[in-house]
């Protein structure tokens, strides 16, 4: 790996973000704790009806995990704006979209992977069918990086704003709805023993498109936000 190349810069940025996340392990634990608390409250609110809990378990886990990810999206570029790193990335000779892609990958690993790991446990608490568990995990593996990429573009648009939390939530909500619909549709079909390949394929296609266009849109949004 040539020092100073785009590949070396992306690896260095990726390792830096993982190291910073490890030093702030409490921030990683907060979305997990939120998901556990919200999922645990559903049986108390709806009662011990196993059939009801099993029917809603997939949707509850999907929505809870996606909402828990929103807790970390608002601070995606905050520290980089405050310490001036963002301006250095924009002036660097390396490709800005690739640098942002490495940062979004690190964000997904630190914010979504712990939630995906505990998702089967949360679903089991709600009597989710074991046979449909792989479909739930597959839907989360496709939906969470898609949400990270979409959220990264919107966070970049509000990077210069001090009160961007409410604005981010309002902008991200319409984009989350199709993701939740397809993911929940796949899980519900698996629970009923119906074919679930179509919604999974749509999620995969959307993720492939977002992987290509997401970093480019995020770079353009950052340039617009910093020039404003």
Domain ranges in the chain are 6-227
What pLDDT sits at residue 28? Answer: 78
Q: What is the pLDDT of residue 139?
A: 93
Residues 35-58: what's their mean pLDDT?
86
User: Can you give the pLDDT at residue 127?
Assistant: 87
pLDDT of residue 203: 92
* CA 149/CA 172 separation, integer angstroms: 11
Percent of the chain with pLDDT over 90: 19
Lowest-pLDDT range, 46-50, 100-104, 108-112, 113-117? Answer: 46-50
Quote the pLDDT of residue 136. 92
Mean of all residue pLDDT scores within the chain = 84
Residues in the chain: 228
What is the predicted pLDDT for the residue at 142? 93
Q: Give the relative orientation of helices 113-125 and 50-73 as an angle to the nearest 10 degrees.
A: 160
Cα–Cα distances in angstroms (integers) from residue 224 to residues 158, 184, 211, 217, in the given order: 10, 35, 21, 11
pLDDT in tens, 129-181: 888 899 999 999 999 999 888 888 888 877 756 555 566 767 777 888 889 89
Give SS3 for 3: coil
Instruction: Return d(Cα 101, Cα 122) in angstroms, integer.
Output: 30
CA distances from 30 to 34, 56, 129, 180 (A): 6, 24, 27, 22
Q: How far apart are the first and last CA of the chain?
A: 36
Binned at pLDDT 50, 70 and 90, residue 206 comes out as very high
């Amino acid at each position: 790996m040539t020092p100073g190349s785009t590949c070396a810069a992306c690896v260095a940025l990726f390792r830096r973000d993982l190291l910073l996340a490890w030093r702030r392990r409490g921030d990683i634990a907060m979305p997990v704790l939120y998901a556990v608390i919200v999922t645990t409250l559903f049986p108390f609110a709806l009662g011990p009806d196993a059939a009801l809990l099993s029917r809603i378990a997939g949707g509850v886990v999907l929505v809870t995990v996606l909402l828990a990810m929103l807790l970390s999206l608002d601070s995606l570029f905050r520290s980089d704006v405050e310490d001036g790193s963002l301006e250095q990335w924009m002036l660097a000779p390396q490709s800005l979209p690739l640098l942002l892609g490495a940062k979004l990958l690190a964000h997904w690993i630190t914010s979504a992977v712990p939630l995906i790991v505990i998702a089967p446990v949360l679903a089991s608490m709600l009597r989710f069918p074991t046979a449909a568990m792989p479909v739930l995990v597959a839907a989360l593996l496709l939906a969470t990086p898609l949400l990270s990429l979409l959220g990264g573009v919107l966070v970049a648009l509000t990077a210069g704003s001090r009160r961007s939390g409410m604005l981010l939530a309002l902008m991200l909500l319409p984009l989350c709805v199709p993701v939740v619909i397809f993911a929940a549709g796949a899980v519900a079909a698996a629970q009923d023993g119906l074919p679930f390949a179509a919604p999974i394929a749509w999620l995969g296609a959307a993720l492939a498109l977002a992987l290509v266009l997401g970093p480019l849109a995020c770079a353009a949004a950052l340039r617009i936000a910093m020039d404003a």
